[in-house]
Amino acid sequence: MAASGSERVWDAAVVGGGPAGAIAAWRAARLGLRVVVLERGRFPRDKVCGEFVSAEALPLLAQAAPELMAAAPEIAAAEWITLSGRRYAFPLAPAARGISRWRLDAQLWAAAGAALAETRSGAIVRGWRPAPRGGGELEFTFAGHSERLRARALIVAAGRWWRVAGLPVPGIAPRRAWVGVKAHLAGIPARALQMFALRHGYCGLAPVEDGGVNVCALVRADAPGLSGCRDIVHWLSAAAPPLAMRLHGAAMARPVQVTAPVYLGRGVALPAGVFFAGDAGGFADPFTGAGLARAMLGGALAAEMAAAALAGDGDVIRAAARHALAVRAATRRARRWSGWLRRWLTAPPPWQDWAAAALARGDMGQSMAARTRWDAAAGRR
C-alpha cells in the first residue's frame, strides 16, 4: 500500500468508487497519475438501478474490464408496453448490455486497483480544504480514525447524495419525489429490454448475466398504497395488469432494494476547482438508461483533463471548469429528451398508446433514443 498521511501529495484524489469514480481512478492511473480513490462502502454491493448499460459506454468498459463484457447479455431490442397491454417494439442498434451492479461496480473497482490506483473502501470523505492555486487537503475517516491527504486535483464522484465540508451542498430543486425499486428475478426469460407503463411511473425488465432478470421501477412517492408496502413486487403487479402477467412464475433471486427520495433532473451548484463526475454533477432522468454511460464517460474525461492540466500548465481550476462545460454540452440534449420521453410514454391512456405508436413507427424510436445518449461531439466542441 502506498504511504498515506499529509506528507504525500497525490496527483488526484477521487471521492466515491461507483462507476464514475472507479473509471476515473482507472483512467488516471493508466495515464500515469498517482491516484487514490476513497469509497465509503465495500464491494460487491447491490444498488437500485435498471442495470442497462447503453452502447456508448461499452468500448470504455471493454478496455477497463473486458471480463464483464464477455458475461453480459446483449440487449438489441426494446419494447414499451402500455397500460392497455399493447406492445410497441423498436431495435437498439448498437446493442446495449445488461450487467448487475453487484458485478459491474466490483469489477470496475478491481480494475482501478489493477491499474495501480490506490483503492480504499470503508473510507468516508468528510471535508475538503482547497489550496488557492488548485488541489487541496482531503479529510476522511477510515477504520474509525480521522486521516488527511493532499492531492493536486479532486474528482468528486459520490453519486446523488453527498456531503463534504468545504464543498457547497448540492442544491435540490423542489420537485416531485420518486421512489426507485429494484429486484433480481429468476425463472422467467428475458432478452429484450421491456418497459411497462404503471399508473404512477414505469417499470423495466432487463436481462443480466447468468440468466438473471433485473426488474426496476421508478414510482411516484405519493402513489396510493406505496408507503408502508411490504411486498413491492406484488404492488407493482397490481399497478399494471400487463406487468403482472409478465412476472407470473418469477422467483425472487435477491432481496428487494429501495431508494428514496429520487428527484429527477436535480440541479447542483458546482464549486470551482473540483471535477464532478456521474450523478454527483447532477442527476438526470434515468428513464432512458444513460446514467451509467454518462458516469463512466464523464469520469474518464475528468481523469484525462486533470492529467493534461497536471502535465501542462498545472491549472486544474481551469481544467475543472472546462470539464464541467464539456459534460454539460455532452449531456444537454439527453437531459432535455429523457424527461420528455418519460412524460409522453407515461401520459394517461390513450395518450401513452398514441406516443408509443408514433415512436415505434420507422426509425423514430431509434432516433429518439439516440438523442438521450452522451453526445461526444458536443462535449469536444
Residue found by looking up cell 493532499 in the block: 150
Host H or E run for residue 149: strand 145-156
Instruction: Rule CB under 6 A: say whether 73 interacts with ligand FAD.
Output: no
Instruction: Rule CB under 6 A: say whether 157 interacts with ligand FAD.
Output: yes
Residue found by looking up cell 480494475 in the block: 111
Instruction: Rule CB under 6 A: say whether 52 interacts with ligand FAD.
Output: yes
Among residues 99, 213, 216, 247, the one that binds ligand FAD under rule CB under 6 A: 216
Instruction: Rule CB under 6 A: say whether 327 interacts with ligand FAD.
Output: no
Residue 106 DSSP code: H
Bridge partners (DSSP) of residue 147 are 140
Considering only 27-35, 85-93, 285-293, 334-342, which stretch makes contact with ligand FAD by CB under 6 A?
A: 285-293
143/123 Cα distance (integer angstroms) = 8
Instruction: Rule CB under 6 A: say whether 41 interacts with ligand FAD.
Output: yes
Instruction: Rule CB under 6 A: say whether 292 interacts with ligand FAD.
Output: yes
Name residues contacting ligand FAD, limited to 109-128 (CB under 6 A): 124-125
Shortest Cβ distance from residue 281 to ligand FAD (Å)? 8
Instruction: Rule CB under 6 A: say whether 156 interacts with ligand FAD.
Output: no
Instruction: Rule CB under 6 A: say whether 40 interacts with ligand FAD.
Output: yes
**Cβ atoms 345, 356 nearer than 8 A:** yes
In terms of CB distance, is 78 or 353 closer to ligand FAD?
Answer: 78
Closest C-alpha to 304, from 61, 69, 58, 11: 11
Tell me the site size for ligand FAD, rule CB under 6 A: 39
Name residues contacting ligand FAD, limited to 18-37 (CB under 6 A): 18-21
358/350 Cα distance (integer angstroms) = 13
Q: How many residues does the chain have?
A: 381
180/258 Cα distance (integer angstroms) = 6
In terms of CB distance, is 51 or 137 closer to ligand FAD?
Answer: 51
Closest C-alpha to 26, from 72, 55, 68, 70: 68
Residue 118 DSSP code: E
Q: What string marks each residue from 247 to 266 as x (binds ligand FAD by CB under 6 A) or -?
A: ------------x--x----
Beta strands in 163-200 (DSSP E): 177-186, 193-198
Shortest Cβ distance from residue 237 to ligand FAD (Å)? 18
Which chain residues interact with ligand FAD by CB under 6 A? 15-21, 38-41, 48-52, 124-125, 157-160, 162, 164, 180, 216, 218, 259, 262, 278-280, 286, 289-293, 295
